[in-house]
């Protein structure tokens, strides 16, 4: 009869803990299903006569959450953060929508104010998420584009960008760096075209 001696195994910890949440999370940007009326395929851009009047018509649609006013609903959906995009188009459409929804006469929003508006990405940390945001960067063609200004607050923040990174000519990646992991969101040119 042969005997096998079993030796005890000792595991030494070096103080490194790897958590499942340390791994990067990759998501794809989507827009809500359904028709976006009035139609728009030029993407986010500075306000122009064409985009201004398109936005006014969009706001007149009324309803609870018209897709043309809120194409960013569930944009880059992930368990850590919620996105909101604020653009010159949305500024005009939202102002008209608020009045129409309240059953008041549609206003004529300030064209000058809309011309001064750039793109703001608002990021809110989701309830229960434990990954406060530390930075947001857009990557286009391998090049990192930091925001023109940023304000980190309450686990999220506001990030202001110029229009060039959002041109619907090539995909972009929005990189959200948190304390425990990074969330990256790929935005295709088809989605960029629909954003307003």
Domain regions of the chain by residue span? 21-69+78-194
pLDDT at 87: 97
For 87-96, the pLDDT digits (tens) are 999 999 999 9
Buried b vs exposed e over 113-140: b needs ≥16 C-beta within 10 Å?
ebeebbbbbbbbbeeebebbbeebbbbb
pTM for the full predicted model: 0.83
For 52-105, the pLDDT digits (tens) are 999 999 999 888 889 999 999 899 999 999 999 999 999 999 999 999 999 999
What value does the mean pLDDT take over residues 101-110?
95
Distance (Å, whole) CA 65 – CA 157: 23
**pLDDT over 90 (residue 13):** no
């Amino acid at each position: 009869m042969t005997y096998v001696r079993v030796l005890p195994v000792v595991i030494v910890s070096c103080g490194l803990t790897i958590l499942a949440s340390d791994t990067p999370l990759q998501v794809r940007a989507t827009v809500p299903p359904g028709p976006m009326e009035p139609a728009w395929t030029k993407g986010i851009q500075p306000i122009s006569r064409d985009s201004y009047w398109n936005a006014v018509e969009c706001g007149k649609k009324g309803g609870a959450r018209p897709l043309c006013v809120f194409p960013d609903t569930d944009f880059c959906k992930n368990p850590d953060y919620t996105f909101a995009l604020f653009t010159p188009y949305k500024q005009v459409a939202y102002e008209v929508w608020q009045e129409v929804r309240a059953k008041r006469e549609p206003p004529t929003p300030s064209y000058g104010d809309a011309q001064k508006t750039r793109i703001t990405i608002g990021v809110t940390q989701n309830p229960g998420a434990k990954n406060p945001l530390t930075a947001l960067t857009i990557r286009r063609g391998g090049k990192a584009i930091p925001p023109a200004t940023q304000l980190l607050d309450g686990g999220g923040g506001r990030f202001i960008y110029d229009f060039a990174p959002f041109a619907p000519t090539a995909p972009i990646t929005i990189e959200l760096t948190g304390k425990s992991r990074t969330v990256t969101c790929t935005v295709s040119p088809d989605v960029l075209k629909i954003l307003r």
